[in-house]
Amino acid sequence: MEDGFLPSAPRSRSELKAAAQTVAGLANDAFVRDRMPAIYLGHGAPPLVDDELWATQLAAWARALPRPRAILMVSAHWENEPLTIGATRDGVPLVYDFSGFPERYYETTYPAPAAPELAASVRKLLAPVENVVAQPERGLDHGAYVPLLVMYPKANVPVLQISMPSLDPKRLLEVGARLRPLRDEGLLVIGSGFLTHGLPYLKDFRTDAPPPAWSAEFDLWAAETLAHGDVDGLTRFRDVPSARYAHPTTEHFAPLFVTLGAGDLSSFVTPITGYYMGLSKRSIQLP
């Protein structure tokens, strides 16, 4: 056993190929010409990069989309008010905001190009509703760079991370709505969290463990509520009985609302489903 995870059995080549084709097909179905999507994904811990299936799914998702001019990342792991713009210099630094993992995960680099023009656009778009400040030395946390390691492994797409100024769904929906015009300029908006994140209640640490009842129940509720296009219902997620276990703290669900604000829920797709350590990987793409 390494870093507290019990890895799943190796996947066959045919299984990985089929998974990649499924993800790519769904991503293509929801793509609107000349407009980058808004996506919400589960980011996982650093060992995500070693999970064959999940890494294959995320990589296929990125390949199915046009290469973005830049990526705007909103991660569960950066909540800061006022809304804060992170590093805008080449070779964006990383924040190793985790503990207890093997040394190799602390040696990871992801020297993405700077995105100063995106930072200026974000500041302009959000100025009417948010007091925006800058933290030039704040790098990408693991919620931002871990999925990018497998989606854009060459680190050749400019990346900018901004903080969530609050965990209030309605405020985050407004932030996302203000950012929506970026997508017509070839910019990819990513909300990075985890659809269920009840780490204190996990008992089986195999990466392919079956989901606890609370994780499966919350995942089903989210899937049905998304399918009905019920954004208001999603904002009331704390009323769902399983939410107390699925999200004892709510920061991993919160980035979903930036994605929902930036996209159109009426015709979304779900390129990735399933579970990792019993936690829902459900990830969506909005046109």
Write the DSSP symbol of residue 278: T
Q: Please report which confidence band the pLDDT of residue 8 belongs to, taking 50, 70 and 90 as the band edges.
A: confident
Strand pairing category for 70-79 and 159-164: parallel
Burial 6-35 (b: 16+ CB within 10 A, else e): eebeeeeeeebeebbeebbebbeebbeeeb
Alpha helix (H) residue ranges in the chain:
13-29, 52-64, 116-126, 142-151, 169-179, 213-227, 231-235, 243-246, 255-262
Longest dimension (CA), the chain: 51
pLDDT above 90: residue 10: no
pLDDT above 80: residue 69: yes
Q: What is the pLDDT of residue 1?
A: 34
Q: What is the pLDDT of residue 237?
A: 98
Percent of the chain topping pLDDT 90:
95
Residue 49 in tokens:
């990069």
Domain coordinates in residue numbering, the chain: 36-286
Can you tell me the distance from the alpha carbon of 203 to that of 201, in angstroms, rounded to the nearest whole number?
6
Query: What are the φ/ψ torsions at residue 188 (nearest 5 degrees)?
Result: -95, 125
Average pLDDT over residues 101-121: 97
- Residues 17-58 have pLDDT tens digits of 999 999 999 999 989 999 999 999 999 999 999 999 999 999
Mean pLDDT of all residues belonging to the chain: 96
Can you tell me the distance from the alpha carbon of 90 to that of 221, in angstroms, rounded to the nearest whole number?
41
Burial of 76 (0-12, 13-18, 19+ CB in 10 A): buried
CATH number of 36-286, picked from 3.40.830.10, 3.40.50.2020, 1.10.600.10, 3.40.50.300: 3.40.830.10
Q: What is the pLDDT of residue 2?
A: 42
Within 10 angstroms of residue 262's Cβ, the number of other Cβ atoms is 28
Q: What is the pLDDT of residue 4?
A: 55
Q: Please report which confidence band the pLDDT of residue 6 belongs to, taking 50, 70 and 90 as the band edges.
A: low
pLDDT above 80: residue 233: yes
pTM beyond cutoff 0.85: yes
- Residues 141-155 have pLDDT tens digits of 999 999 999 999 999
- Residues 189-228 have pLDDT tens digits of 999 999 999 999 999 999 999 999 999 999 999 999 999 9
pLDDT above 80: residue 102: yes
Name which of 27, 42, 5, 103 is nearest 283 in CA terms.
42
Q: Which neighbouring-strand residues pair with 272?
A: 283
